[in-house]
Chain A
C-alpha cells in the first residue's frame, strides 16, 4: 500500500485529460453548473414576475358602503388605486356570492369603550373560494391597515401624546439583517451548491470505475507498474476535483447571473438586495466544499466501482445521490437552526454551515463539530475503499454484486 506521488500525478493528469474530452462529463461537471441552474432560476423568477404582473393587472370590484364623512380620505385612497374599481349594487352581499362583485366593505358604528373621535369598525364580505375575491380582500386589508396607521398617528398627535402612549400594544418592525440576508436566492444557494457537488462527482466517479471496466481499460491499469493505492488515490483526487470545480462554477455562475439578470427583478421586489457573499465566509465555504467533495467522491466511487458498466454504475450511485439531497431539502426550512446536534448529520451540516456563512453568521461550536464529522466520514469512506480493493475478485471485476452485498458478506462477515 505504497503511495507514489509521481505516479499519482501522472495518473491524475491522465484522468483529467480524458474527462475534459468526454461530452457527458464536460456537460455535467462544467456546462450544467454554469448554465442550467442560473437559466432555470431565471426562468422560474421570470415566470413568478409574469404571474404577479398578471395578478397586478387584475382589477378588484369593490363596493364601499356607509363610509362616514370623517373617513372620506380612505375612499379617495380606494379611488386612486388603479387595481380597484369601486362599484355599487342594491344587493351587494348576494352579488359577492354570485361573483358579480369581489368584495363589500361596510363601515359599522364603533362599540369601543374608549371614545376616540372617528373610531371605526369595518366588515369585509368576500368569497374565499374565489381567487379574485380573495385577492380583493387582501387589497382591502392593505389599504385599511395603511389608513388606520395614519389615522392613529394623527389622533396621537392631536391628543398631545406619543404613539407609544396612545397605542400601548403595537408591532414595530425593525430589519436587522445584513444585505446578504434579504435575498431568498442566498438561502437557496447552498442547496444548489451541494447538488452541484454531487452532480459534478457522479459522472467522473462512474467513468473512472465502472467506465474503465466497460472499456476494458481496468485490467490494463491493474497491470501497470504502480501500486493500487496510487491508482485509487489519483482517481479519488480527480473525482473530488471535478466535484469541487462543478460546485464553484455553479456558485460563480449563480452569483453572476443573479447580479446581472436577476438584480433588476430583485430590486423591484425588495428595494435593495446585495448578491454578494461576504468575503470573510469564503474560507469556510471553501473548506466545507472541499470536505464535502472528498466525502461525496469517496461514497460515489465505492458504489460505482461495483458496477460492470456505466448504466449499472448510474443505478448504483443514484440512491446515494438521493440520500444526499433529501436531508438538505428537509433541513432547508428556516425553522432548523445550525445547532451542534444538526452538525452531526453529514452533508446537511455543511449545507447549514455554508448557509450561515453566506449570511455572515458563524456558530463556531457547530462549525467545529461539522468539520470533525466530515473528516471522520471521509476517513471511514476511505477505509472502506481500502478494504474493498484488497479483495481480488473485486479488483479483476469478477465479483458479482453490489456494495451492499459485498459489505454484508465481506466487511461485516455475515
Chain B
C-alpha cells in the first residue's frame, strides 16, 4: 500500500525582482507513514513552509510530484484538501464567528458529510473542552482558546492527514505544550501528521521521524535514534548543526 503522503523531486522556484530566481525548495523527496508524526526541522527560510504550502495545494510546484492519500497536488487539489487539515501560525480564524459557527463552517466547506456536521461539531466542542466558549465570538477568546479552536477547525472534516506548520510560534510555554499534547493525541487517533518546526525540543519530543531541511534541500531523514547513530551526537541541536554545516559545504 502506498504511503499517505509521497513527495518526489518536489521543487519550487520563485522570481524576485531584486534577487532574481530563488530556489525555495530544491528537489526534495520523502514519504510519511500512516499514523506517524513526520517532522520537518529547519531554520527560518529553509523551505519548510513552501513545502507544506505545496502539499496543501496553496502553491503549485515548479517541478516534481506529490500525492496526499493518492490525490495529486497538481491534478486533484480539491481531493488533496479534502483529505488534509492545514494549520499554521499564519492561518487565523474569522473573528466575528462563534466557536460553534467556525467549526461548522470548516466542516462543511471541507466536504464533511452535511448530515453528520452537527454531531461532529458537538463532538469537537467536547473533545477540545470548548463547551463554555461554544457560542462566544472568536475575537473574545484568549489566545489559548483560539489555539484550541484553530486545531478544532483543522480537524473539523476529520482528515487523514494533518499539517502543522510551526504551530507553536508566538505561543507561551503552557499553550505551546497544550498544542504539542493535542498533536500527540491526534497521532494516537491514527492521524498522519507532518509537523514543521525550528524548535529542537519539539521535534525531539513529538516526531517519529525527522527530516532536516536546509537551503531548500532535505539533508537527512531518519528517526531520532537513527540520526544519533549516523552522527554520533546525542542532542538534536548538535545533529542539526552538523548536517547543516555539511550541507552548506555541499550546497
Listed in ascending order, the chain A residues whose CB lies under 8 Å from chain B are 2, 6-7, 10-11, 14, 17-18, 21-22, 215-217, 219-220, 222-227, 392-393, 395-396
* Distance between B140 CB and nearest chain A CB, rounded to angstroms: 12
Closest to A234 in B: B109
Q: Which residues of the other chain, A, contact B190 by a CB distance below 8 angstroms? A: none
Closest to B50 in A: A396
Which one of A14, A215, A396 lies within 8 Å of B105 (CB-CB)?
A14
7 closest Cβ contacts across the A-B interface? Answer: A216-B92, A225-B81, A223-B86, A225-B82, A220-B91, A21-B96, A225-B110
Q: B94 contacts the other chain (Cβ, under 8 Å)?
A: yes
Q: Which residues of the other chain, B, contact A10 by a CB distance below 8 angstroms? A: 105, 108-109
Q: A216-B91, A217-B92, A219-B58 are in contact. Are A21 and B137 (CB under 8 A)?
A: yes
Query: Are B92 and A396 closer than 8 Å at their CB atoms?
Result: no
Which one of B78, B88, B153 lies within 8 Å of A227 (CB-CB)?
B78
Complex Cα distance, B153 from A161, in Å, reads 93
Closest to B60 in A: A392
Q: Which residues of the other chain, A, contact B106 by a CB distance below 8 angstroms? A: 224
Which chain B residues numbered 63 to 86 have a C-beta less than 8 Å away from chain A?
A: 78, 81-82, 84, 86
* Distance between A196 CB and nearest chain B CB, rounded to angstroms: 23
* Distance between B181 CB and nearest chain A CB, rounded to angstroms: 23
**Range of interface residues on B (Cβ < 8 Å):** 20 to 34
Q: B226 contacts the other chain (Cβ, under 8 Å)?
A: no
Which chain B residues numbered 97 to 142 have a C-beta less than 8 Å away from chain A?
A: 97, 101, 105-106, 108-111, 114, 137
Query: Are A225 and B58 closer than 8 Å at their CB atoms?
Result: no
Q: B51 contacts the other chain (Cβ, under 8 Å)?
A: no
Q: A223-B81, A395-B58 are in contact. Are A11 and B109 (CB under 8 A)?
A: yes
Complex Cα distance, B97 from A14, in Å, reads 8
Complex Cα distance, B97 from A18, in Å, reads 6
Closest to A228 in B: B77
Q: A18-B96, A224-B109, A225-B111 are in contact. List 13 more A-B contacts (CB 8 A).
A: A6-B114, A14-B105, A17-B96, A21-B137, A22-B96, A215-B92, A217-B94, A220-B93, A224-B81, A224-B110, A225-B109, A226-B110, A392-B59
Query: Are A223 and B56 closer than 8 Å at their CB atoms?
Result: yes
Closest to A227 in B: B78
Closest to B89 in A: A216
Complex Cα distance, B82 from A226, in Å, reads 8
Complex Cα distance, B78 from A407, in Å, reads 29
Q: Which residues of the other chain, B, contact A220 by a CB distance below 8 angstroms? A: 86, 91-93, 153
Q: Which residues of the other chain, A, contact B84 by a CB distance below 8 angstroms? A: 223, 225
Complex Cα distance, B24 from A396, in Å, reads 15
Of the listed residues A7, A217, A224, A226, the one surrounded by the most CB atoms of chain B closer than 10 A to its CB is A224
Q: Which residues of the other chain, B, contact A226 by a CB distance below 8 angstroms? A: 78, 81, 109-111
Which one of B59, B109, B137 lies within 8 Å of A7 (CB-CB)?
B109
Query: Are A223 and B91 closer than 8 Å at their CB atoms?
Result: yes
